[in-house]
Structures are given as structure tokens and as C-alpha cells.
């Protein structure tokens, strides 16, 4: 047991030792004797640098990490423990649905518990920090990383940012058992790359940045998030890792963040590629001045800061501040008292993938799925129907998303396995067409995917078998989607749609038997085209994780009633992207008017195929007109807006009641509507409840013409309903 005086410790460190605390390297360096050379050490670290690094990323396992920590501590002159960090994005070994799906649950309590379980499993495996949550607002499904966000809405992202941070960290101290530190990312604006191409330039007005993109990071900070990661992109032409105004001015001074800032992978060195630094030394100077504490995986800090400080180019006080924040985090996690924290092989055995975690993963996965269409074909009766399960995702286990880096395929329940577990009779299973081959997920390029698929000699055999099964069935469940490697980092797509061979499969199967239920496994909204028109039902299952197959089967056979709602719009056409519900007012709005000169397309409606907030259930709900307890308020008052919701169907179900507000006239153009609150309510058949939203002046604030964050008096409309297209509204006045 060791209590440390951090200030004293800092004062005792040499310049090199301090700089070492700011270096983060990959875990594999510690498991190999001697220096790693070749492509694995493309960053070019030498043995001394690796030995001096203060934190490690990307490896886990209690035995492994305890050994590394022990060896390290024995050699470290001041016995400063290493920090172990990793990307635990949607679960450690028990893999939950991808974050985009989690948002669709509209259930922050469940998402908080998911983060708690992820933290417990990770902590037992020796990890101290996860690079999560990603709270980047996303409006462009071409960008592969939309799968890591909770979607296109600021309010939803704030709610889930808070839930996730509280889930990982708890609220009673990071040193408590089962807690890990959270790292909110990527600060800032990374979710808006031009043309949806990863790492591309971001052009956002300051107003949009502040009003729509920054609040979720703020919500994470207010929830106590201990760490922030910089983003790869530029904002107003300045890369975040060199952006002093952003990282010190906005993040620290305005948003009040006091914790540690880490660069994204190699982002400091990439300042050279951005063309804002001449060389690594220049990059190191820019980043430390901007307020980046840890340099992830480059030699910029460890090889240049010493000289920069000795030559008085960089003030040593900047280094001391950064090192202090790293030491503080280590101390908050209790690592000076116990450098192994919760790493424990026995706990790993009892906790990881335990029945309770699996059961919860199944429940959460079912709650994240969105029923997009149902012409009465779902749920399928468990008896009396011949069902053909067809499609490349039917028997596949890898339905987890690329960030499930510690998850293992063998632990995942496929749809086929789930149907067999339910002992459904008269079922057949076939692949129909090959899915893109499993290669190194993160390196799979779209071009190669197509080639692999076309090369497959079995194609006709697979198709013939599937057609035969479809002909002999009453119902076909066709599982289509994306290879998990088609979404995630560096997986932007110009055509967020099903590939040609899956469309061909759908058409051939539909010809053989039109009773087709499509189940989609994918990491982004897709342009569904004819498939959506023709299918009798469409269930969006996303990439649902370890218990994904069970959750899909629960919904297909009516053991669960779907209750997810989309948190990203599904476009009708690629040309509509970016498309999002809280668009701004224009001078020539199109509302079905006759004439040409309106803000519209001449070859496609403006509206998405499926809007934000949309999702069906096996039951139906009636929502009453909006009632207001008063129709005007002053800044100090509030209005209570309410509806009565009734389950008028025959099945118990959950509905997400959503409250939207529009500011009718502002000093700048305002969004057509904005989500301000939601309640997920569970109702038995015939049951009715009142749902109340309190409208406060604070909810009506925005960045005015003078860039002041405040409300302006005037007329507002509030809508309460079951999607962003609800017309159930009433007006009120802010005096
Ligand atoms: C990603 C981050 C991630 C980091 C560490 C980067 O490439 O952008 O989101 O946390 O790698 O794995």
C-alpha cells in the first residue's frame, strides 16, 4: 500500500522520466524480448523509449497485464505504474450491439448497465481505461464510423454520453472495484468529414459546432469523464492536436475539463501530413502547446520535447502540467496503492460471458432492433409454418462490429443456432450467396470485397439451394447486410447499400416466394431501394453482438416485441446525403407546393425513406392531442406539455414518446424541429399512461445572431409523438 504526494513525485522526476509519462505505446512491445523491428514497429521506438512509456494500449488479460506491470514496476526508478488502455467500445468479451444500435434502444438505463458490465469484465482483465464513448454527431452514412456513434441528434447523444460515462466510471471513485476510466472522443467534430470520407476535412460553422456538436462532449465531461481524445480532422483548417483555441480555450476554459487529453493514434505526427508542422519537433511543440498530454504511438514527444525544453522553445511548465494530469489519473484509479487494480484471473473466469451478462446482452440487443416494416407477417408462429432461413448472415457468428477487439467468434450465437435452440420445427438453412470473405477486418477494401465475392465458384450452387428451399417454405427469413469490416474506422463507402449479389439473391428468392422477411445486419443506415418496397417485413438488427442471433429469433417469433427507433435517418437515395431530421429552415421551403423554384429535388422526394425516431411494434399505440398546462411562460416559468398514450393492440409493448420543439422566429435561421426529450413507456394491452414533458426556458436557448447562448421571446411549437414526423403539435409563447 503506497500513498503518494504527486507534487513531490513530479519534482523528483528527471526530464526524460517526465516525458516518458506522456508516451503511449502498443502492448505487444512488452511481451517480446528486445526491440520490435519491422512493420510492427513502424513508429520506430527504441528499447529505452519503450521502457520509459507511461501507458500502453490494446492488450488485455489479467495474467498478462499483471506480469507486464510487475516487470515494469521492478525496473521503474520511481515505481510509477503503467496505465493500461484499450478500445472497449461495445463490450469486452460479452459483446453488446454497436453504439448506433444502442442509441436506437432509447433506453439510457440499459445502455448504462451495458457500460457497467463492459467495465467489470475489462477491469477483471486488468484494463484501466476504455477509449469510449464516441459521441461524434453523425449525419452521413457513407462514413463508416457512424456505427460508433448514437446518431444524428444532439440531445440523444448527450443522454447516451452521460449514461455510458456513468456506467464505466460509476460516481463514487475510479478506484472502486469494477470501474474503469472513460475517454470521450473524438474532440471535436470528427463526425462531419466532407463527403463521408474518413479523416477528411471538416467544415462547420462555429454556431453549428457549438450548438449541435459540442454538447455531447460537455455532457460526458459533466458526468465526470476523466479523459478526452483529440480528433484526426481539422476544424477551421486547424488539426485538433494542434488546435490551442479548441483544446485549451474551448475544452478547458469554457467547458471546464480538467482531466487528461490523449491524442488519437499518431495524430501528433500527422500534423506534418496536414502541413501545419515542418517536422516531428515542430509537431511536438504544437501539440504540447495546444494541450495534448499523451502522445499515442509516435516518437514526437519522446524524441523532441527534451531539446525543445532545454532550448527554451517550450516552457517546462507545460510539460509538468501534462505529466501531473497523467499522474493524477493513475492516482485516481488507485494504481499507486495497487498497480494491478482489479486484474484477477478468478474474476475473469466468473464474470466474463457469465449467464447474467449474456442474458443482459440478449435483452439489450432485442431492444436495439428496429422493425422498419411489417405487413402482418411478423411475428412468425412457432408451429405450423415451413420457414426457410436464407442469406449470408443466417449462420454467421461474426455479427459484432469491428471494434469488438476482444470478442471471440466462438462465443457468438448465430441466427441459425438461436432457431435451433428454440426448437422450431420445419426449418431449413442456406447461405444463398457468399458474404465477403473474412480477411483482416480493418484492411479490407471495398474493391477487394467485390473481387472475393465474384471469385466464389460456389455461387450458383448456393443460389440454387436457396431458391429450392424458398419454394418449399411458407415464409422466408432472408438475412442480408454488410460484412462487419464494411463499417467502422477507414470504411467509408460511396454506396451505403447492399451489394449487387445480395440484391440479386433477394430478387431470385422473392420470385420463388414473395413471403420474405428481411433481417438486416449492418453498421450504418443503408439505401434499401426496391427491397424495402417488396419485402413483407424488414427488421434492422444492426451488428447485435454475442447474443445477437438469440435476440433476432426472440423478435421473429414474438418472444420480444420490437421497440427500437432509428437514431439516424435512412435515405431514399444516396444523393440526399447528408440527410437529418433537424435540418434548418430555408427561404424556399418545399411543402408539396406547385411550381419549380423550391428547395427540392426534381427526381426524388426531400423526405428520407425512414425518419429519425421511427420504428414499429407488434402492438399499436394511440397518442392523444398535446395538452399544455398554459400556453405562455416567462423565462422563470415552465410549461408542462403532456399526452395520454394507450396500447390499443393485443400485445404488451414499449413506445418511445418523443417531444420536439421549433422556434418559429429567431435572430438566425432555426432548425425545423429539435428533439428536447423522450420517454420510453411500457404498456400492457388496454393500458394507458400520461406522459409529461416540462418545457423550460433553458431548452429554448441557442447561439443568437450575437453568438450569445440564450433564448429569444416569441412563438414556439411543441410536438409530441412517436417519430420526428409527428404532426401532433401545439403552439406556445415565451414572453
Ligand atoms: C481511433 C480511435 C481509437 C484509437 C486507439 C484510432 O485509430 O480513431 O478511436 O481509440 O485508434 O485504438
Return the domain boundaries, the chain. 6-35+42-347, 368-576, 621-734
Ligand 1: which atom is nearest the Cα of residue 185? 9
What is the distance between the alpha carbons of residues 554 and 345, in angstroms, rounded to a whole number? 34
Distance CA 563, CA 616 (A): 7
pLDDT tens digits for range 334-384 = 999 999 999 999 999 999 999 999 999 999 999 999 999 999 999 999 999
Domain 6-35+42-347: which topology?
Answer: TIM Barrel (3.20.20)
Spacing, Cα 129 to ligand 1 middle (Å): 13
Q: Where are the beta strands (DSSP E) in 48-101?
A: 55-57, 83-86
Longest Cα pair distance anywhere in the chain, in angstroms?
Answer: 82
C-alpha span between 479 and 492 (Å, rounded): 22
Q: How far is CA 174 from CA 18, 57, 63, 260, 332, in A?
A: 23, 19, 22, 14, 6
Tell me the whole-structure pTM to 2 decimals.
0.97
| Protein residues whose CB sits closer than 6 Å to any atom of ligand 1 | 57, 87, 131, 185, 264-265, 489
DSSP helix, strand, coil percent of the chain (3-state; round to 5): 35, 20, 45
Choosing among 2.60.40.10, 2.40.50.140, 3.40.50.2300, 1.10.1060.10, the CATH entry for 621-734 is 2.60.40.10
User: What does 466-491 look like in DSSP terms, one character per residue?
Assistant: HHHHHHT-SEEEEEEE--GGGSSTT-
| Cα(229) to centroid(ligand 1), Å | 9
Whole-angstrom Cα distance, residue 559 to residue 422? 10
Closest to 90 in 3D by CA, of 523, 614, 565 = 523
User: According to the model, what pLDDT value does residue 441 have?
Assistant: 44
Query: Is the preceding omega at residue 344 within 30 degrees of 0, hence cis?
Result: no
Grid-cell match 448504462, residue found: 112
- Cell numbers representing residue 413 in the block: 450465437
Quick one: which H or E segment has residue 638? strand 638-647
Q: Choose, from 264, 342, 499, 663, the residue flagged as catalytic.
A: 264
Instruction: Decide if 464 is catalytic.
Output: no
Tell which phi-psi region holds residue 172, choosing left (phi > 0), alpha (psi between -120 and 50) or beta. alpha
Instruction: Choose which residue among 489, 490, 491 to substitute to test ligand 1 binding: the one with the highest number of ligand atoms within 8 A of its C-beta.
Output: 489
pLDDT digits (tens, 9 = 90+) for 266-315: 999 999 999 999 999 999 999 999 999 999 999 999 999 999 999 999 99
Summarize pLDDT for 577-634 with one digit per residue, the tens.
999 999 999 999 998 888 999 999 999 999 999 999 999 999 999 999 999 999 999 9
Ligand 1 mean position, distance from CA 263 (Å): 9
Q: Is the pLDDT of residue 573 over 70?
A: yes
Determine the Cα–Cα distance for residues 374 and 383; give it in Å rounded to an integer.
Answer: 20
Residues 6+ apart with CB under 8 A from 631: 639, 730, 731, 732, 733
How far apart, in whole angstroms, are the C-alpha atoms of residue 528 and residue 484? 18
Whether omega before 93 lies within 30 degrees of 0, making that bond cis, reads no
Q: Are strands 621-623 and 638-647 parallel, antiparallel or unpaired?
A: antiparallel
For 212-265, the pLDDT digits (tens) are 999 999 999 999 999 999 999 999 999 999 999 999 999 999 999 999 999 999
569 neighbors 580 (Cβ within 8 angstroms): yes
Contact assessment for residue 678 and residue 656, using Cβ atoms and an 8 Å cutoff: yes
DSSP 375-413: SS--SPPSSS--EEEESTTSS----S-TT-TT--GGGPP
Asked if the domains at 6-35+42-347 and 368-576 fall in one CATH topology, the answer is no
- Specify the pLDDT at position 428: 98
Q: What residue's CA is closest to ligand 1, atom 6?
A: 265
Nearest CA to ligand 1 atom 10: 131
pLDDT score for 33: 57
For position 695, what pLDDT does the model report?
98
- Report CA(264)–ligand 1 centroid distance (Å): 6
Quickly count: other Cβ atoms within 10 Å of residue 338's Cβ: 14
CATH code reported for the domain at 368-576: 3.40.50.1700
- C-alpha closest to that of 615 among 649, 566, 582: 566
**Pocket probe mutation, ligand 1, options 87, 190, 191, 406, max atoms within 8 Å of Cβ:** 87
pLDDT at 39: 55
The rounded Å distance from CA 662 to ligand 1 centre is 37
What is the pLDDT confidence band of residue 43, given thresholds at 50, 70 and 90?
confident
The pLDDT, as a whole number, for residue 440 is 42
Q: CA torsion sign, 309 to 314 to 320 to 324? A: negative
- The pLDDT tens digits of the residues spanning 481-538 come to 999 889 999 999 999 999 998 999 999 999 999 999 999 999 999 999 999 999 999 9
Looking at residue 29, its pLDDT comes to: 84
Amino acid at each position: 500500500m503506497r500513498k503518494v504526494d504527486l507534487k513531490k513525485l513530479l519534482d523528483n522526476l528527471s526530464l526524460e522520466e517526465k516525458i516518458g509519462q506522456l508516451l503511449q505505446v502498443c502492448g505487444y512491445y512488452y511481451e517480446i524480448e528486445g526491440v520490435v523491428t519491422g512493420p510492427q514497429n513502424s513508429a520506430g521506438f527504441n528499447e529505452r523509449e519503450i521502457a520509459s512509456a507511461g501507458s500502453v494500449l490494446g492488450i488485455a488479460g489479467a495474467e498478462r497485464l499483471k506480469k507486464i506491470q510487475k516487470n515494469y514496476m521492478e525496473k521503474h526508478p520511481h515505481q510509477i505504474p503503467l496505465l493500461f488502455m484499450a478500445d472497449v467500445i461495445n463490450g469486452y468479451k460479452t459483446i453488446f450491439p454497436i453504439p448506433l444500435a444502442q442509441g436506437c434502444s432509447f433506453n439510457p438505463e440499459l445502455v448504462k448497465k451495458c457500460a457497467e458490465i463492459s467495465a467489470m469484465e475489462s477491469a477483471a482483465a486488468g484494463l484501466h481505461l476504455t477509449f469510449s464513448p464516441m459521441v461524434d454527431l453523425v449525419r452521413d452514412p457513407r462514413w463508416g464510423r457512424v456505427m460508433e456513434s448514437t446518431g444524428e441528434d444532439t440531445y440523444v447523444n448527450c443522454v447516451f454520453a452521460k449514461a455510458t460515462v456513468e456506467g464505466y466510471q460509476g460516481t463514487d471513485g475510479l478506484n472502486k472495484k469494477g470501474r474503469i476510466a472513460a475517454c470521450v472522443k473524438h474532440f471535436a467534430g470528427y463526425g462531419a468529414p466532407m463527403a463521408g470520407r474518413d479523416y477528411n476535412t471538416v467544415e462547420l460553422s462555429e454556431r453549428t459546432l457549438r450548438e449541435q456538436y459540442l454538447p455531447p462532449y460537455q455532457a460526458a465531461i459533466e458526468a465526470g469523464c476523466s479523459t478526452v481524445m483529440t480528433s484526426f480532422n481539422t476544424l477551421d483548417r486547424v488539426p485538433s492536436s494542434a488546435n490551442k483555441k479548441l483544446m485549451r480555450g474551448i475544452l478547458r476554459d469554457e467547458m471546464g475539463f480538467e482531466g487528461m487529453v490523449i491524442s488519437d493514434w499518431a495524430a501528433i505526427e500527422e500534423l506534418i501530413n496536414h502541413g501545419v508542422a515542418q517536422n516531428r519537433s515542430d509537431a511536438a511543440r504544437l501539440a504540447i502547446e495546444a494541450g495534448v498530454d499523451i502522445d499515442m504511438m509516435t516518437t514526437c514527444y519522446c524524441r523532441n520535447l527534451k531539446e525543445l525544453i532545454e532550448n527554451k522553445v517550450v516552457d517546462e511548465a507545460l510539460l509538468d502540467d501534462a505529466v501531473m494530469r497523467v499522474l493524477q489519473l493513475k492516482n485516481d484509479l488507485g494504481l499507486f496503492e495497487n498497480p494491478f487494480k482489479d486484474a484477477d484471473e478468478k474474476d475473469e473466469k466468473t464474470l466474463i460471458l457469465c449467464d447474467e451478462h449474456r442474458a443482459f446482452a440478449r435483452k439489450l440487443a432485442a431492444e436495439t432492433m428496429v422493425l422498419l416494416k411489417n405487413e402482418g407477417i411478423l411475428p412468425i408462429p412457432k408451429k405450423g409454418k415451413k420457414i426457410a432461413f436464407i442469406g449470408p448472415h443466417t449462420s454467421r457468428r461474426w455479427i459484432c462490429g469491428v471494434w469488438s477487439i476482444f470478442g471471440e467468434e466462438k462465443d457468438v450465437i448465430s441466427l441459425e443456432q438461436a432457431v435451433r435452440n428454440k426448437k422450431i420445427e420445419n426449418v431449413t438453412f442456406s447461405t444463398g450467396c457468399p458474404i465477403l470473405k473474412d480477411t483482416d477486418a480493418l484492411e479490407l477494401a471495398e474493391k477487394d470485397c467485390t473481387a472475393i465475392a465474384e471469385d466464389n465458384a460456389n455461387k450458383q450452387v448456393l443460389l440454387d439451394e436457396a431458391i429450392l428451399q424458398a419454394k418449399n417454405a411458407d415464409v422466408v427469413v432472408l438475412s442480408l447486410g454488410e460484412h462487419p469490416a464494411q463499417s467502422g474506422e477507414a470504411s467509408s463507402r460511396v454506396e451505403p447499400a447492399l451489394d449487387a449479389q445480395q440484391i440479386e439473391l433477394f430478387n431470385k428468392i422473392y420470385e420463388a416466394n414473395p413471403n420474405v422477411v428481411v433481417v438486416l445486419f449492418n453498421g450504418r443506415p443503408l439505401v434499401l431501394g426496391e427491397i424495402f418496397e417488396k419485402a413483407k417485413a424488414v427488421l434492422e438488427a444492426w451488428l447485435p453482438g454475442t447474443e445477437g442471433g438469440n435476440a433476432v429469433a426472440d423478435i421473429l417469433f414474438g418472444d420480444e416485441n420490437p421497440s427500437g427507433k432509428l437514431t439516424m435517418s435512412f435515405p431514399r437515395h444516396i444523393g440526399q446525403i447528408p440527410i437529418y431530421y433537424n435540418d434548418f429552415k430555408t427561404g424556399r421551403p418545399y411543402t408539396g407546393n406547385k411550381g419549380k423554384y423550391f428547395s427540392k429535388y426534381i427526381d426524388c422526394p426531400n423526405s428520407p425513406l425512414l425518419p429519425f425516431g421511427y420504428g414499429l411494434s407488434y402492438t399499436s399505440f394511440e397518442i392523444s392531442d398535446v395538452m399544455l398546462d398554459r400556453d405562455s411562460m416567462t423565462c422563470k416559468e415552465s410549461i408542462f406539455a403532456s399526452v395520454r398514450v394507450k396500447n390499443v393492440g393485443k400485445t404488451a409493448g414499449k413506445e418511445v414518446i418523443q417531444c420536439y420543439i421549433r422556434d418559429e422566429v429567431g435572430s438566425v435561421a432555426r432548425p425545423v424541429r429539435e428533439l428536447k426529450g423522450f420517454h420510453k413507456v411500457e404498456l400492457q394491452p388496454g393500458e394507458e399512461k400520461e406522459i409529461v414533458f416540462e418545457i423550460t426556458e433553458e431548452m429554448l436557448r441557442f447561439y443568437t445572431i450575437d453568438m450569445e447562448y440564450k433564448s429569444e421571446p416569441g412563438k414556439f411549437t411543441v410536438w409530441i409523438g412517436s417519430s420526428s414526423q409527428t404532426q401532433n403539435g401545439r403552439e406556445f409563447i415565451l414572453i
